[in-house]
Structure 1
Amino acid sequence: MSFRPPFVVGSTVTHPEICTAFQCGNMGGMRRSKRTNTLIIISDHTKALYDDKWYGDTLHYTGEGKRGDQTLTKNNRTLNESDHNGVEVHLFEVLHPTQYIYHGVVSLAGKPYQEDQADEDGVMRKVWMFPVKPAFPISVDSTAYQFYTKAQQKRAEKLSDEALARHLNDTEKQKAAQRDVTSSVYVRNPYVAEYAKRRAKGICQLCGQPAPFCDQKGRPYLESHHIEWLSQGGADTTSNTAALCPNCHKKMHIVNDPKDVQKLRAAII
């Protein structure tokens, strides 16, 4: 008989709720509960030690063991034999600290394999990777996913050239991951955006250069930009909207230099 926790697939729960529901320990990324006949695996992307990866709809989950080569013992053995030992495997994913996304029951989608990863001391070692696939793919919250992608980007920036090449060798062989991400969006007034572009007369209001190309209708291509971002309380009005070339638009969202902000405010007066 399968175990049903008191929360649904796709919900975000707390760490204490997991421990209480599954009657498991509170330490480690893999937790065996004999009381519920389950193995809980936690893919925590906010921690740098284990390198779990999504390929398509399958998570390649790193086994247990912080130092030295990992072995197919203890929880690793339980997961390795989960297709015939009767133990249910439940997956939780952490994209943002303290937020555990429940993926439900997962099953092995392929034969476990070994790859090289650094251990807790930075020494390269062999780890076991377990391809596990949820029964039902879920959507993840866009805010949590953006936090995850930024953390992964920072992680990539810290890699040596050798380590980066090793990661690329692994990913070149695999199918791209596809995640359903839910988000709330600001509904922008199309008339405000159109007015801002016409007011600019084909000239970027930051760099002062003509639009880099024309669209399919022959109109100079510029993008509308809210000087004070909507996410920070800015208004969707003509007095807060400028027209920028794609390069300057990207610059404003990455750098957002106060001097550039002042320049745009002066340009639309």
Structure 2
Amino acid sequence: MSTPEQALNDGEASFGYKNVKAEEKAGMVAELFSGVADNYDLMNDAMSGGMHRVWKDRFVRRVKPQRGEDILDVAGGTGDVAFRLAKSGARVTVSDINQEMLDVGIERAVKRGEDSLVWSQQDAEDLKFPDNSFDAYTISFGIRNVTHIDRALAEARRVLRYGGRFYCLEFSTTEWPGFSEIYEQYSHKLMPKIGKMLVNDEESYRYLAESIRRFPKMPEFEALIQDAGFVQTRVEPIFGGAVAIHSGWKI
């Protein structure tokens, strides 16, 4: 098995601990999320011990959505963050590469009587929105699944208006002494077993745990955000760095 530290060669992308051809990763991720769409929120509960709901509340408070502004929520298929953003009166567009995830979100919106959201199937690396279209761009637990993070960040900056803000909520590497070992054991040994027990899907949970380990550490990801042209970047570790809110501005 590949190790977390295994270097990528040209034309390769990480899929969990495996290195795969870059052009194959998007299809593999799409297939995985098509299979877990109906249980995605249950998956997040298992991965975070239910804490993802608290983290998303904190994330939206950091975004500070305003009535009348345009916000793009990328990889937001089930609407979990978009519903929170929409409470402010902001005009929220939810995009996701996976239609099955969007269908879950649309169904949830219908049940809630929420009809203000726009739903759009989009690739984060190749958004079809015009330049300078949004006041804020959000992505939660999604950017580690894209094939080329730099392309997704470049697209985020492109579609933002000048003065627009970028916010990303993503799993990271905990810095608490001792806790990292506990979290490592939980995510790599217990989480797949929970997936098998809950939804008879061990491999999807295993991939998601591995994808967290191979995601760039906080300073490295901040550097990528800066390389994309964002300024006044900030990293806000949560839960000892197990999760982090990354932000930046387009000016």
For the pair shown, which has the larger CA radius of gyration, 1 or 2?
Answer: 1
Q: Determine which structure has greater relative contact order: mean sequence separation of CA pairs < 8 Å that are 6+ residues apart, divided by chain length.
A: 2
Structure with a larger share of its residues in helix: 2
TM-score for the superposition, normalised by structure 1: 0.25
TM-score for the superposition, normalised by structure 2: 0.26
